Structure formats: C-alpha cells, structure tokens
Structure 1
Amino acid sequence: MPLAPLHHDPLSRFRARLSLPLIAAPMFLVSGVELVVAACRNGVIGAFPTVNCRTPEQLDAWLGEIETRLHRREDAEGKPAAPVCPNLIVHRSNTRLDNDLAVLLRYKPELVITSVGSPAPVLGPLHDAGALVFADVASIRHAERALEAGADGLVLLSAGAGGQTGWLNPFAFVRAVRAFFDGPLVLAGGISDGHALRAAQALSCDLAYMGTRFIATRESMADERYKAMLVQSSADDILLTSAFTGLQTNMLKPSIVAAGLDPDNLPAHGAIEIGRDIDVENRQKRWRDIWSAGHATSGVTDVLPVDELIARTLAEYRTSQSRDFRA
C-alpha cells in the first residue's frame, strides 16, 4: 500500500484541549462514567466500551451524564474538557451494534474507536455525524484493511497490551505502519508512565493508550480485589493465552490460580468459554474472578485517584521531554 499523505492534522480540532497525548483505554467492565469524566476533565481522552452499559438506554443515560458533568466543569473553570471516546465492538456477535450506534449519532462524538472487526459498517454514519473513527488493529494486514475501509486513524495493539491483544513488537509495528500511513496512530501496549508515553511519540505515534494503570484508580469500576492484585503483581505475572476467548489475551496469572485453574496447564485454544458473546450480564458473571492486564502491571504500585495518576504522568512526561540525550 502506498503512503497515504497527511494534508492536515485531524487531531487539531481537540489537540489544544489535551494535557497529554493520551487515551484512557476502553476496558471491559472497568471504564465507566466516573473514570471517563475524571480523565476528560484532566485533559486525557476518556474512552469506554459501549457494551459496558447493559442496554442502549443505559448508554444514552451514561453519555448524557458525562456530557452534563463535563459541561459544568467547563462553565466553572473555563477550560474545555478532553473528548469523550466511545468504543464500538463491531464483531457480528454484537447484536446491539446498530442500537448503540444510533445512540452515539445523537450525541455526535468527536472520536470513536472500533474493535474486533472492520470499521466499514459504521464509518459512513459516524463520518456524517462529524466523528473521527479509529480502528484498533493487531497486525499489518489488519491495519491495511482498516485504512482501505476508510478509517481515519489506527490503534496499534502491540505485544504487552492488556486483554485481547496483538503480538508484534511495538517498535517494529509502528515503523512498519508508518511506511504506508501518515495519519493518526495510537500505540497500545506497555505504556506505564510519562516516559513510555514520550517514547511512543518518539516512534511517531500521535497518541497512546494507558489501560492497566487506570484499572487501579479509585474511579474505575474494577473489583477492589482486582486493583489490589495489580498492585501486588508485576509483568512476570501476565500470561498470554488463547484458552479463555480463542484470541490471544493477556491475563493476570494470580486470578487464574484463584479461580482454581493451573496457568501452566490450561485447556486447549478457546476451550474455556468466557466472553464469547456480547451479553454483558453473562460476561460479567464469567469474568468476575478472572482478570486481564498488560505488561504495564509492573508500573502499578498503588491505587490512586485519576487526578493524581494523570498529574504524576504529566510530571514524568515533562521530565522525559527535558532530558538532554547525548551520544
């Protein structure tokens, strides 16, 4: 595929509203109203999977509450919040996709991320509503197909990202995609602090995901045991396995052990049927005690308010920027 020239900066519409080039990653059963609002009011893009809401009606209520609370913050402080970024699961198993899309179109989001499939079915309506559409991809071929479909940007799921992930080294992945795409890139996988965020920019990424660190925040919807386990674990406690979903997924080994399973002797590919549909209530029960996380687990040392986590990340980012690298 030839290099697609970038004639303008698609992110210019909201870049000035960001304190960091960062997205609080959309995480199943973790990202909710409190986490999104806290991220956005601190200048970080707040993302959440629409399927975290039990129904399209609840999705409408969430978006309405987020919009109201961020508007109040803007009125009080005079600074616009960072964008809210819904995440649509576009896989055919998501029977709610059309209904969730209809809700999003009413709210006209600035940015939407699509996952688990081609963004083609939702691109037209979202573009008509003024949204940028980024597709998350796990391989070079996935990236090419998403761009052929018309995606505005890509989220590169590299080795080390929590949950269902890619397998490519982030350095190689970013540079390979940059050979044919000059538009917005988001790096996902292993972003644990401001230094890693700065490194993603040095690779030529426009933004990065931070997911695992946001699990261990007071505003996340994660079980308190989940947060505590992250604090107690390191990257050595992350297991890449396809036993639970049929797809390569980074999981917390201690949670697998606590569920009565042996991480070293899991059943064959996809044999443990957890999360194979988009029925939120059933998936919530199935995933209640087995948790995902990424290699950034080593960077989780305490449970913080989102305000403090972002302030710490910003300080690290500025320190990294100010360093004088000498040969």
Structure 2
Amino acid sequence: METALTKLAGVRHPVVQTGMGWVAGPRLVSAVANAGGLGILASATMTFDELRTAIEEVRERTGSPFGVNLRADAVDAGERVRLLISAGVRVASFALAPSQELIGTLKDAGVVVIPSVGAVRHAEKVAGWGADAVMVQGGEGGGHTGQVATTVLLPSVVDAVDIPVIAAGGFFDGRGLAAALSYGAAGVGMGTRFLLTKESTVPQAVKEAYLASGLTGTVVTTRVDGMPHRVLRTELVTSLESAGPLRGLLRAVRNAARFRSLTRLSWAAMAREGLAMRRNHKLTWSQLVMAANTPMLLREGLVNGNTAAGVLASGQVAGALRDLPTCEELISGIVREAGEIIEHLPR
C-alpha cells in the first residue's frame, strides 16, 4: 500500500510504531521494520551510549529503514542528531517541536524529520520550519495527550499543512487505517497496539493487565508529572489522584534522584533539561519536579512488571484489544483489511 509516507520513509506499509519510552527497543523496532512498517526507537530513556548500542543492534537485526525518537530539549540533542546522521538512520521523530536549526541539520544530511504534534498551530509551525511530515495524536492516544479527538484534529491538520500527516490516537486495525486515509492522512501511528505484540519486551503480567482493561479503563491525569497523561486506571494512579500535594512532591523528588542515578546525568544537566521543559510547557516549579516522576514510574511498570507501583501509559484502544499478534501478523492484517475495505467502498 503506497502512500506519501511509504515513499518518504522507504517502507512498504503506511504503519508506524511510535517511540514509547522503555518499550520501543531494538527487538520491537526491528520486528516492525522487517514486517514492512516504520519502527521508531525511543531514546529519551536511554543514555547516549545506550542509544548508540541500540542503533547498532537494530542494524544487525534488519536491513530495512527505521527511526529514532529524540527529545529536542535534551542537553545532548545535538550530539544525538550527529549520531543519527553518522549511523545512517532514516527518520528522526520528536515528541516536542525541534528547533529550525535541528530540522535543517537533519534534512541537510538526508534524514527525514517527523515531529509529533497535538495542535494545528504546532503542525503549521514545524511545517514552516521544514519538517518532512507530522504525526498528529488525538486525545484518545496514550501518554501525554490533548483534549481534541483524532476525528476532529486530524482533518484540521490535513487542511492546514501541505506535508504528509500521520494519524495517531485510537488506531489498532485496518478499519482505522482506511478511515485515516479517507481523512487525507498518509498512514497511522500506533503505540498501545504495538506494546501488545509478541515482540514487545513488556512483561507478560503487564500485557495481561492491558488486555483485561475495558474501554473506560484509562484516565487522563496530571498527577503523574503535572501534564495531562493518559494511563491505565490502576490502584497507584487512584492513589496519586487522591494524594495531597506535599506527598506527591516528595515522591517526585525521590524519583528524580533515581532517574539521575540510572541515566548518569549530572544534577546540572537535569536542571538544564528541566528549565527547558518549564519554559516550553509553562510549568510551575511544583509541576516541574513532578515531571521527574514519569521515567521511573513508567519503568517500574513497563520494565519491572510492577503494576502496583508503576504507571502504565495507554491509549483508549487498550479496551478494544484482546490478542498478542506478532508484528508481521499485525501489520499484514491491518494493510489487508484496509485494502479490502477501500476496494469495496461504494463508488
């Protein structure tokens, strides 16, 4: 199924596996690439050396194109961009809008730049700066999310920019891909659906918790890191929602120390990243400290399998999923179903 996305990224199918922290590692990314989709490594939770090793491992596992998700406000963002260029990575994606300079550096080296956006104005800004495409996530999506549903946000962005648009938030099967294409998108991005595959390294007990959730099994909370965050509704999340501000602040400080130890970032480097986050998101100081919760709480659930003490980012589609296919089964099934739907639409 050829679209503007497949031609741009050099993949066979217009299906993107998003860069989920602690989830999108070499095994999942290479499985997606081998199945013809665009797999994206999540680097925000990796040190620079870990990212370099992960890219090398993906290279060993597949000869197909793949991408790397970067934090534009990371203190070593420039160094990571140079790594992608030297390693010949095909796509650079960003959760936050990269600067015009970063976009230019990547494009000059032949790297495709695809920022993720949650508003029309953000899409217009990065398109004006030279981004090759944008991924648009509606409010149904997991992790940090907005209030506008994909069915409203997607066509608004398609109308506003003249670059390929990838639809994310609420997609999990061929019906969704066919719908996205009919809206004018060039493909779909999926996170939760790929988290629930056989190649995903998320512990089995955690996968079962996702599969057991219902359509109302997620909640958007600001008590994880101060920003709207869609997660599974667990006992921990309920506890965070009911906890007083002082208790939440103390928890965040402890998690900040744990994350610093794990990533070997200096306190000065964390402070610089924090100040950039505060400036970009207009966070209060309290919210900024709370933002340190995210990496460690997600790691506790998605890596250590502790559903009682961890946070599980999730899109609403978790309530519609009941199986764990391989990436090959998932992608081929989505593309086949979408093709059949489009072929049989009334003309």
TM-score by length of 1: 0.83
5 Å-filtered alignment, 1:187-226, equals 187-226=167-206
Match of 1:88 among 66, 70, 78: 70
Deviation string, structure 1 residues 35-55 (Cα, Å, up to 9, x no partner): 0111001101001222243x2
Match of 1:65 among 53, 57, 78: 57
Counterpart position of 1:31: 24
Q: Is the partner of 1:142 in helix, strand or coil?
A: helix
Counterpart position of 2:156: 176
| Between structures 1 and 2, the one with greater helix share | 2
Counterpart position of 1:12: 7
Cα distance in 1 for residues equivalent to 2:118 and 2:60: 35
5 Å-filtered alignment, 1:147-166, equals 147-166=127-146
Counterpart position of 2:102: 122
Name which of structure 1's ranges 244-253 and 112-121 shifts more when overlaid on structure 2.
112-121
Name which of structure 1's ranges 35-44 and 117-126 shifts more when overlaid on structure 2.
117-126
Match of 2:82 among 99, 102, 123: 102
Cα distance in 1 for residues equivalent to 2:320 and 2:329: 15
Q: CA RMSD in A?
A: 2.7
Q: Is it true that 1:290 corresponds to 2:272 in the alignment?
A: no
How far residue 145 of structure 1 moved from its aligned partner, in angstroms, is 1.9
Read off the aligned partner of 1:32 and give its amino acid letter. Answer: G
Deviation string, structure 1 residues 122-179 (Cα, Å, up to 9, x no partner): 2122112101111111112222222232222111121111111122122221222233
Cα distance in 2 for residues equivalent to 1:49 and 1:87: 5
Q: Is it true that 1:273 corresponds to 2:252 in the alignment?
A: yes
Counterpart position of 2:328: 307
Counterpart position of 2:122: 142
Q: Is the partner of 1:51 in helix, strand or coil?
A: coil
Cα distance in 2 for residues equivalent to 1:121 and 1:221: 35
Cα distance in 1 for residues equivalent to 2:215 and 2:261: 28
TM-score by length of 2: 0.78
Q: Which runs of 5+ in 1 are unaligned?
A: 1-8, 72-80
Aligned residues: 301
Q: Which runs of 5+ in 2 are unaligned?
A: 264-293, 301-309
How far residue 13 of structure 1 moved from its aligned partner, in angstroms, is 4.7
Counterpart position of 1:247: 227
Cα distance in 1 for residues equivalent to 2:111 and 2:252: 35
Q: Is the partner of 2:216 in helix, strand or coil?
A: helix
Distance 1:172 1:280, change over 3 A: farther
Q: Is it true that 1:111 corresponds to 2:91 in the alignment?
A: yes
Q: Is the partner of 2:225 in helix, strand or coil?
A: coil
Q: Is the partner of 2:70 in helix, strand or coil?
A: strand
Read off the aligned partner of 2:61 and give its amino acid letter. Answer: R
Cα distance in 1 for residues equivalent to 2:256 and 2:224: 9
Read off the aligned partner of 1:60 and give its amino acid letter. Answer: R
Tell me if structure 1 keeps the 8 A contact 2:16–2:38.
yes
Q: Tell me the percent identity.
A: 22
How far residue 263 of structure 1 moved from its aligned partner, in angstroms, is 7.0
Name which of structure 1's ranges 111-120 and 289-298 shifts more when overlaid on structure 2.
111-120
Deviation string, structure 1 residues 108-135 (Cα, Å, up to 9, x no partner): 2222111123342421221121011111
